[in-house]
Structure 1
Amino acid sequence: MDMRALVVDPDVPGSLRLGTVAEPRPAPGQLVLEVRHISLNRGEVAFAGRLPAGTVHGYDAAGVVVHAAADGTGPAVGTRVVAFGAGAWAQRMAVDTTAVAEVPAQVDLADAAALPMAGISALRTLRSRPILGRRVLITGAAGGVGRYAIQMAALGGAHVIASVGSAARGKGLTELGADEVVVGLASIDRPVDLILDTVGGRQLTTAWQLLAPGGDVQSIGWASDEPAVFAPHSLFSLGPAKTISTFGDVHEVGPDLATLLGFVATGRLSPEVDRRGSWTGITEAAQALMDRRIAGKAVLDVEPAAAG
């Protein structure tokens, strides 16, 4: 049986289009989800054209379980869940039961769909070291990861500095929990203890100079088109080691998805959905994301699969 999905097509604008593909065939430890909503992440959109033509793209989805896992793990049929896994942008997806979480009744499925990739990135990088009373710098703070990181860093008791590319992009970040909202990095005059960097390029090298001894830069993304070039000897530092850490840990995210959903359910985390519409508008939504015309997350509604 076939279904509809957003597939890679290098010959169309944005390299993504609606197409028809075969239904997923789950492994024993996977459930099948009837997808109701998906969310877009800038990196996924930017690099779609690098994938083989016909690939079902995307990682973030929320919907209802239609086939439980054959090995008996995971939620039962009919459960509302949020999921993180390859091939999410389709009417149905097969996903590991360790990468889903049940959505509380008070959380809208569309809001849940906005959480996985950006929320996990923010949550796990903030957990990399204690932040209570520490200075945390978040670059690219107006994006999906940045907005979640601001809120959770504030929950963790950090002094939160949100760096954005323009004054307009900083709108609303103080309300989310930022103690300081700055354009670029030039105005920061005191060292910071943890940096969540989504920009890369020259800004990464500048951020490194702001890092206190013993501090860490978590390199989450790379929105810049430029390389990061470090001047000779600039990586040397007296005292406790300063580090740059890569982030790509998305192993068994189910419990962390449940944590994020709990924050949303209790009003401590805003899903920050700035754009919502049908997945038939993928080209326009993807372009808006690439043009930085979306403050936070873009969520698309998926048309139901035909019965039978």
Structure 2
Amino acid sequence: MKALVHDPNAPRQLSFAEVPDPKPGPGQALIEVGAVSFNFGEIVYRSPDTPPGTVPGWDAAGVVVRSADDGSGPPVGARVVTFGWGGAWARLRVVDTAELAVVPDAVDLGTASALPVAGVTALQAVRRLGSVLGRRVLVTGASGGVGRFAVQLLALGGAHVVASVGGPARAEGLRELGAAEIVHGPEELTAPVYGVLDNVGGSQLAEAFYRLERGGVVQAIGKASGEPTVIDFERARVESPNGRLENFNVSTPVGADLGHLLHLVATDRLSPQIGWRGSWTRAHEAADALVGRRVLGKAVLDLGPDD
């Protein structure tokens, strides 16, 4: 089958190649992939130890062509969205049935493919803040995939959302998604915040931590800045007493969370915010746009029958 594989000598370390079809194990379904989405982390932070020819990719949506032998999961012909830590960028994918959800008729596969990593990350991170009703919550890197989901989910939960972006152009559409304030970095905050969902890391994470109200919490989600984070805890002890900093990692399986996100999309309460969409033959263009911060939200690639 055709796949987009890890190639250390290619642009973005990606090239197309023919690879063996994957073989489903117990509790796994075989999916014919119709669309995938790119995430910043899987483009920029792929391990240098990844063997050439490996099929990367976390997010894919498609149709079940072989159901799981153990009887779990949906039947052949079901439209599904899937998650896994590899194998998405190919014509066929195997996936544990606990890591997929059936896509409602009202949602197309490309839209569904935008949900797994970014949408589930935002959902679980918001949930870990506890009740946000009436509370000020900062989202750094709010213009990206996780950020735009987080702004919407926080607004649905009744939060006063402060969206932090790198510049005016990156703020496009965020107020319509539920952001009450737009800032260009935590330094511009006019009042303390109860919670922070940080997608940037580095100095922004430190500055956000100093601006927590008493008992507030930061969820450290991403490191888009590529910078280490250095926190002056003496300053933090004075400026954000009892503030907490928690490392965030996605909890699996994610099938139930995917189902919830799909319901929100199907009922027009959540927008996937697809900022780039095209054929997977344009994968390098999509990757360059994502890494170059030219995508507001998600990049989605469609696998046509002749591509």
In 2: Cα distance, 1:166 partner to 1:257 partner: 31
Checking the alignment, whether the CA contact within 8 Å between 2:151 and 2:179 is kept in structure 1 is: yes
Q: CA deviation at 1:301?
A: 0.9
In 2: Cα distance, 1:111 partner to 1:159 partner: 27
Q: Which residue of 2 aligns with 1:24?
A: 22
The aligned runs of 1:174-189 (5 Å cut-off) are 174-189=175-190
In 1: Cα distance, 2:239 partner to 2:180 partner: 29
Query: Normalising by structure 1, what TM-score?
Result: 0.95
Q: Which residue of 1 aligns with 2:296?
A: 295
Q: Deviations over 1:217-258 (max 9, x none)?
A: 111110113211122523436997321111212311001000
Cα distance change on mapping 1:239 and 1:63 into 2, 3 Å = closer
Q: Which residue of 2 aligns with 1:33?
A: 31
Q: Which residue of 1 aligns with 2:120?
A: 120
1:152 to 2:150 alignment: no
In 2: Cα distance, 1:237 partner to 1:77 partner: 59
> Structure 2 stretches of 5 or more lacking a match?
none
Q: Which residue of 2 aligns with 1:191?
A: 192
In 2: Cα distance, 1:210 partner to 1:23 partner: 51
In 2: Cα distance, 1:102 partner to 1:26 partner: 18
Checking the alignment, whether the CA contact within 8 Å between 1:16 and 1:48 is kept in structure 2 is: no
In 2: Cα distance, 1:175 partner to 1:232 partner: 36
Q: Deviations over 1:74-116 (max 9, x none)?
A: 0000000000012111101000000100000111111001111
Checking the alignment, whether the CA contact within 8 Å between 1:205 and 1:229 is kept in structure 2 is: yes
Checking the alignment, whether the CA contact within 8 Å between 1:9 and 1:49 is kept in structure 2 is: no
1:53 to 2:52 alignment: yes
User: How many correspondences in the alignment?
Assistant: 304
1:285 to 2:300 alignment: no
Matching residue's letter, 2:114: A
Cα distance change on mapping 1:130 and 1:19 into 2, 3 Å = same
In 2: Cα distance, 1:148 partner to 1:239 partner: 27
1:8 to 2:9 alignment: no
Checking the alignment, whether the CA contact within 8 Å between 1:120 and 1:250 is kept in structure 2 is: no
SS in 2 for 1:285: helix
Matching residue's letter, 1:249: V
Q: Which residue of 1 aligns with 2:217?
A: 216
In 1: Cα distance, 2:238 partner to 2:35 partner: 47
Matching residue's letter, 2:4: L
Cα distance change on mapping 1:305 and 1:168 into 2, 3 Å = closer
Checking the alignment, whether the CA contact within 8 Å between 1:140 and 1:163 is kept in structure 2 is: yes
Q: CA deviation at 1:179?
A: 0.4
Q: Which residue of 1 aligns with 2:95?
A: 95
SS in 2 for 1:64: strand
SS in 2 for 1:226: coil
Matching residue's letter, 1:52: P
SS in 2 for 1:45: helix
Q: CA deviation at 1:182?
A: 1.1
1:110 to 2:120 alignment: no
The aligned runs of 1:56-75 (5 Å cut-off) are 56-75=55-74
Cα distance change on mapping 1:81 and 1:237 into 2, 3 Å = farther
In 2: Cα distance, 1:304 partner to 1:202 partner: 45
SS in 1 for 2:206: helix
Matching residue's letter, 1:117: V
Q: Which residue of 2 aligns with 1:163?
A: 164
Matching residue's letter, 1:101: A
Matching residue's letter, 1:25: K
Aligned-pair identity in percent equals 53
Matching residue's letter, 1:106: A
In 1: Cα distance, 2:196 partner to 2:218 partner: 5
Matching residue's letter, 1:80: R
Q: Which residue of 2 aligns with 1:78?
A: 77
In 2: Cα distance, 1:239 partner to 1:175 partner: 31
Checking the alignment, whether the CA contact within 8 Å between 2:212 and 2:240 is kept in structure 1 is: no
> Structure 1 stretches of 5 or more lacking a match?
none
In 2: Cα distance, 1:185 partner to 1:132 partner: 21
Query: Normalising by structure 2, what TM-score?
Result: 0.96
In 1: Cα distance, 2:158 partner to 2:224 partner: 28
The aligned runs of 1:223-262 (5 Å cut-off) are 223-231=224-232, 233-236=234-237, 241-262=242-263
Matching residue's letter, 2:279: S
In 1: Cα distance, 2:244 partner to 2:64 partner: 42
Cα distance change on mapping 1:231 and 1:241 into 2, 3 Å = closer
Q: CA deviation at 1:305?
A: 8.6
